[in-house]
Amino acid sequence: MDKYNKVIKELIQFRNERDWEQFHDSKNLALAISIEASELNELFLWKKGDEVENVNPDKLKEELADVLAYAFLLAEKHNLDIFDIVSEKIKNNALKYPVEKAKGTAKKYNEL
Amino acid sequence: MDKYNKVIKELIQFRNERDWEQFHDSKNLALAISIEASELNELFLWKKGDEVENVNPDKLKEELADVLAYAFLLAEKHNLDIFDIVSEKIKNNALKYPVEKAKGTAKKYNEL
Amino acid sequence: MDKYNKVIKELIQFRNERDWEQFHDSKNLALAISIEASELNELFLWKKGDEVENVNPDKLKEELADVLAYAFLLAEKHNLDIFDIVSEKIKNNALKYPVEKAKGTAKKYNEL
Amino acid sequence: MDKYNKVIKELIQFRNERDWEQFHDSKNLALAISIEASELNELFLWKKGDEVENVNPDKLKEELADVLAYAFLLAEKHNLDIFDIVSEKIKNNALKYPVEKAKGTAKKYNEL
């Protein structure tokens, strides 16, 4: 079994042992992703310059892990392969952000 | 090369072709995760009951892919293995949420 | 002095006594609003039915106050009157959501 | 009637004309605040230095208005006076962030 399927199995087991599937509808899983993403952002709040890349690495690891854990559970619920959907999105974004227009600018595609 | 390393390579190539690494400090990557997570949540806003599991599957796929893409880039920047950090977090959460206390309840660990 | 101007004055005084204006650029104030909004949302995570309207009222009050405090500071920084901008937005939304099309539906304006 | 009560009245009228109160439970209102806060943050994504204070002022005004509108509706639902709760929070924060410890630092109260 590859590492992704191994960790999905661990997440499902953790959830089922606690009888938490009842809470894990897609709306609450999406909300959990957002809340964990905010906790990740809180590490960077008010920080600038060098401070940004020097946040506590253990906390960064934990908050990013929380985001990923709920994202994996939502993907699993909808039978989505996390690698395939990112790969597909990169292809779509390549059309929205052609290199010749998007190079070196952070503008949104509708402003290019 | 496994699927995770393949998609990371695609993300890096997409970024580098557009000269976007200059924008991708950790603070902005974390903010991008949060913004994409909110777009994912918007699919569920005001929805209840059956509507929740019947949101547009293409949009769900795309918004979840955006969250994952920025999460992968942030992990890569900090040399974090996405599977190891989630696995480690599950172990820590097992201590915060022991089965006998957490079973069937959605309370936070500090309220158990 | 009306209540709004009184509370703005208190916020500015609190900030200035701590020499925090240096951190309060618009990007960080917006991020602070988002982080506080997520803490507000955390009160509702996994909750359904009656539980939703029975969250801890003191925590609800505190988290909503944090959202408002940073929103007031961002408005003040840009010389925006919080009442005028909301009033103006209601007028714009009335055009995007005409009663005859929007009545009783939670669809977005671009799906009406 | 003061400006706050006038705008609350406009919000309620806008909502009731569209029969939207059915969607406005506290969980969805909190989620709406968060989603609008993210749209506000999107204006600042990837921006640095002078760009931060030069975002489109009309968009800033609109996104901040959306955050405030849902925050006002949530406050109204719980009979909270937006000015009193912010004033009270400032008093509590003064205890968590005493001037002599917090001056000139962006550390969280639990790290002071």
Number of neighbours of residue D11 by Cβ within 10 angstroms: 20
CA distance B101 to B105: 8
CATH no. of D3-80 = 1.10.287.1080
Which pLDDT value is given to residue D25? 98
User: pTM higher than 0.95 for the full model?
Assistant: yes
Using the structure block, give the residue that is written with the tokens 């500071």. C73
pLDDT at residue D1 in the model: 74
pLDDT band per the 50, 70, 90 thresholds, residue C1 = confident
Q: D87 and C10 in contact by Cβ < 8 A?
A: yes
Kindly tell me if the per-residue pLDDT of C36 is higher than 80.
yes
Query: What residue ranges in chain A does DSSP mark as E strands?
Result: none
The size of chain D, in residues, is: 112
Backbone Cα Rg of chain A:
18
Cα–Cα dist B73/B79, whole Å: 10
D31: which chain A residues are within 8 Å (Cβ-Cβ)?
31
Please state the domain extents for chain C: 3-80, 82-112
The whole-angstrom separation of Cα D85 and Cα C4 is 12
pLDDT of B1 higher than 80: no
Specify whether the CB–CB gap between A105 and A112 falls below 8 A.
yes
Q: What pLDDT was estimated at residue C104?
A: 94
Q: Which of B31, B37, B46 sits opposite D45 (nearest CB)?
A: B31
Chains that touch A (3 or more CB pairs under 8 A): B, C, D
pLDDT for the residue B36:
98
Instruction: Give pLDDT, residue C56.
Output: 96
**Closest chain A residue to the Cα of B57, Cα to Cα:** A78
Residues of A in contact with D34 (CB under 8 A): 34
Residue with token string 């917090």? D102
Tokens standing for D35? 């989603």
- Chains meeting B at 3+ CB pairs closer than 8 A? A, C, D
The answer to whether D64 and D40 have CB atoms below 8 angstroms apart is yes
Residue type at D111? E
Percent of chain C whose pLDDT exceeds 70: 100
Nearest CB neighbour to D68, from listed C20, C31, C71 = C71
Handedness of CA B51, B54, B58, B63 (dihedral sign): positive
What radius of gyration, in Å, describes the C-alpha atoms of chain B? 18
Task: Give pLDDT tens digits for A42-94.
Answer: 999 999 999 999 999 999 999 999 999 999 999 999 999 999 999 999 999 99
Neighbours of B24 (CB within 10 A): 18
Question: What percent of chain A is predicted at pLDDT more than 90?
Answer: 95
Contact B76, B8 (CB under 8 A): yes
Which DSSP state fits D37? H
Looking at CA atoms only, how far is residue A91 from chain C in angstroms? 25
Size of interface A-B (CB pairs under 8 A): 186
Closest CA to C20 of C77, C64, C86, C95: C77
Give the minimum alpha-carbon distance from A3 to chain C in angstroms, rounded to a whole number. Answer: 28
Whole-number mean pLDDT of chain C? Answer: 96
Spacing of C-alpha D20 from chain mean position: 21
Whether residue A32 and residue C38 make contact (CB cut-off 8 A), yes or no, is no
3-state secondary structure of D48: coil
Mutate which of C8, C83, C109 to test chain D, going by most D C-beta atoms within 10 A? C83
Q: Residue D29: pLDDT above 80?
A: yes
3-state SS, residue C56: coil
Closest A-chain CA to C38: A35
- With beta carbons less than 8 A apart as the criterion, state whether D36 and D67 touch: yes
| C40 contacts D30 by C-beta, under 8 angstroms | yes
pLDDT (mean) for B81-104: 96
Of how many residues is chain A composed? 112
Say which of D34, D46, D47 has its CB closest to residue A34.
Answer: D34
- Identify which has the larger pLDDT, C1 or A69: A69
Summarize pLDDT for C45-63 with one digit per residue, the tens: 999 999 999 999 999 999 9
